[in-house]
């Protein structure tokens, strides 16, 4: 048996006996993403459904002045609640999402055929209020246009006189791309899974081994240190790969738990998607294993390594966070940046656009270069004299 497989199998066997590592690699890591994803999606979907279908109750100040408008609202299942005295404060204190205020001279102006004012009081910074606000606004605007058209017709004019330009919406979003918008944070879950799957192993195989003082006897064996490192990295990669595969399997079941058809989006997480994601993630698995080992090698103890790694765990969030906040156009070079490239690629796969060959190649190439550099850096670290000395 050569040194690589001796180290590899020993680490795999030893860590299969460690409950904490197993729980992280086989349960927490793979399931964290899917469970959070399904829960979040259900919350979002149910809220959206509730907002569009359910009757809305909106305080209307001066409802008595505009019975026709109130009737129009009622037909769109927006009930006019009794008016309140302090609409601005009520909205700011989130007691109500939107208030309609009808100006006191509404009836008089209406009679004369003049323009009348209807105020909508709302807070645009409250995202959860956006759906009711837009429902009320489109209702009021639609009502105004309809009444305007009636007046024109009454005067023998065509309604098109007043609206020479008609806007027609041609939304190019497919049901898959709509879903991609909501799933832009999904790539982070995959990275997180890989990270968690290998983390405890990486700590155990460097900082842990050093803390237990077993690194010195290990290095006394007639095996070059890079071979020992290779065996250890192999074991870490195996655990994170298994985590990722389990996670992909769990994600494949996600559509069963999310009422996607109700909001008109499609979710294709089948084996084609899964296999492409795993392919894109392969360089990241090696890269993260090497980075985790490198960071752990700097730590003097298991706990210290854990602290450093929790900080390192934040790094993969950055591309996902960036992409969900800033809508950047994907430039070709971005695919070669590890993490960012994977992020772009996975979102693209989710949108159902597929990835071009050169995009996959850039993604794999960039990740591979980074992985090689990280492995090389770790190998240098392993050669240092101080690494083995525990005391």
Taking the complex as a whole, the smallest distance from the CB of residue 290 to other proteins amounts, in Å, to 22
| 123 makes contact with other proteins (CB under 8 A) | no
Residue 233 or residue 334: which is nearer to other proteins going by CB? 233
Main-chain phi, psi angles of 81, to 5 degrees: -85, 160
Taking the complex as a whole, the smallest distance from the CB of residue 236 to other proteins amounts, in Å, to 16
Q: Within 13 A of 223's CA, how many CA atoms are on the CB side?
A: 21
| 298 makes contact with other proteins (CB under 8 A) | no
Residue 156 or residue 391: which is nearer to other proteins going by CB? 391
| 390 makes contact with other proteins (CB under 8 A) | yes
Lookup: tokens for 350:
């989710």
Contact 341, 366 (CB under 8 A): yes
Residue 46 or residue 214: which is nearer to other proteins going by CB? 214
Contact 319, 339 (CB under 8 A): yes
Residue 111 or residue 385: which is nearer to other proteins going by CB? 385
With CB under 8 A as the rule, give the number of residues binding other proteins: 30
**Which member of 85, 111, 171, 385 binds other proteins (CB under 8 A)?**
385
Residue 363 or residue 388: which is nearer to other proteins going by CB? 388
Burial of 188 (0-12, 13-18, 19+ CB in 10 A): buried
| 301 makes contact with other proteins (CB under 8 A) | no
Taking the complex as a whole, the smallest distance from the CB of residue 218 to other proteins amounts, in Å, to 8
CA–CA separation, 291 vs 313, rounded Å?
A: 11
Residue 118 or residue 215: which is nearer to other proteins going by CB? 215
Site for other proteins in 86-115 (CB under 8 A): none
Sign, CA dihedral 94-97-102-103, equals: positive
Site for other proteins in 6-35 (CB under 8 A): 6-7, 10, 13-15, 17-18
| 3 makes contact with other proteins (CB under 8 A) | yes
| 1 makes contact with other proteins (CB under 8 A) | yes
Residue 218 or residue 372: which is nearer to other proteins going by CB? 218
Binding mask 224-263 for other proteins (x = CB under 8 A): x---------------------------------------
Mutual angle of helices 357-383 and 271-298, in 10-degree steps: 20
Taking the complex as a whole, the smallest distance from the CB of residue 223 to other proteins amounts, in Å, to 5
CA–CA separation, 102 vs 317, rounded Å?
A: 48
Residue 216 or residue 304: which is nearer to other proteins going by CB? 216
Instruction: Rounding to the nearest 10 degrees, give the CA dihedral for residues 73, 74, 79, 85.
Output: 50
Sign, CA dihedral 57-126-117-76, equals: negative
Binding mask 189-228 for other proteins (x = CB under 8 A): --------------------x--xxxxxxxxxxxxx----
Whose CA is closest to 37, among 184, 178, 241? 184
Taking the complex as a whole, the smallest distance from the CB of residue 212 to other proteins amounts, in Å, to 4
| 82 makes contact with other proteins (CB under 8 A) | no
Residue 78 or residue 215: which is nearer to other proteins going by CB? 215
Within the chain, where are the H helices?
Answer: 3-16, 19-22, 29-53, 67-75, 87-92, 106-112, 130-154, 175-182, 186-203, 209-211, 215-219, 225-252, 254-257, 271-298, 302-312, 317-325, 340-350, 357-383
Binding site for other proteins (CB under 8 A): 1-3, 6-7, 10, 13-15, 17-18, 209, 212-224, 385, 388-391
């Amino acid at each position: 048996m050569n040194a690589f497989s001796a180290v590899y199998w020993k680490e795999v066997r030893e860590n299969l006996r460690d409950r904490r590592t197993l729980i992280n690699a086989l349960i927490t890591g793979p399931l964290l993403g899917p469970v959070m994803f399904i829960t979040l999606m259900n919350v979002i979907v149910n809220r959206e459904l509730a907002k569009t279908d359910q009757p809305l109750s909106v305080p209307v100040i001066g409802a008595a002045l505009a019975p026709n408008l109130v009737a129009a609202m009622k037909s769109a299942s927006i009930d006019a609640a009794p008016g309140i005295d302090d609409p601005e404060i009520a909205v700011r204190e989130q007691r109500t999402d939107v208030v309609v205020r009808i100006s006191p001279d509404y009836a008089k102006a209406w009679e004369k055929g003049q323009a009348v004012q209807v105020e909508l009081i709302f807070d645009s910074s409250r995202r959860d209020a956006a759906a009711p606000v837009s429902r009320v606004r489109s209702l009021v605007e639609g009502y105004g246009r309809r009444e305007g058209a009636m007046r024109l017709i009454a005067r023998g004019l065509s309604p098109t006189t007043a609206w020479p330009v008609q806007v027609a919406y041609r939304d190019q979003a497919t049901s898959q791309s709509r879903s991609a918008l909501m799933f832009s944070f999904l790539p982070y879950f995959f990275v997180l899974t890989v990270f968690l799957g290998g983390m405890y192993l990486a700590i155990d195989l460097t900082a842990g081994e050093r803390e237990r003082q077993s690194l010195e006897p290990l290095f006394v064996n007639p095996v070059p240190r890079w071979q020992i490192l290779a065996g250890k990295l192999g074991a870490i990669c195996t655990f994170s790969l298994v985590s990722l595969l389990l996670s992909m399997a769990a994600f494949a079941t996600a559509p069963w738990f999310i009422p996607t058809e109700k909001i008109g989006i499609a979710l294709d997480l089948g084996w084609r998607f899964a296999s492409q994601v795993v392919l894109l993630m392969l360089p990241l698995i090696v890269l993260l294993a090497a980075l985790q080992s490198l960071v752990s090698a700097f730590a003097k103890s298991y706990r210290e390594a854990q602290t450093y790694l929790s900080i390192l765990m934040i790094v993969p969030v950055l591309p996902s966070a960036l992409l969900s906040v800033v809508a950047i156009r994907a430039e070709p070079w971005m695919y070669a940046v590890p993490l960012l490239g994977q992020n772009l690629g996975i979102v693209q796969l989710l949108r159902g656009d597929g990835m071009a060959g050169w995009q996959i190649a850039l993604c794999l190439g960039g990740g591979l270069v980074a992985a090689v550099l990280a492995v090389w850096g770790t190998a240098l670290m392993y050669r240092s004299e101080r690494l083995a000395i525990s005391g």
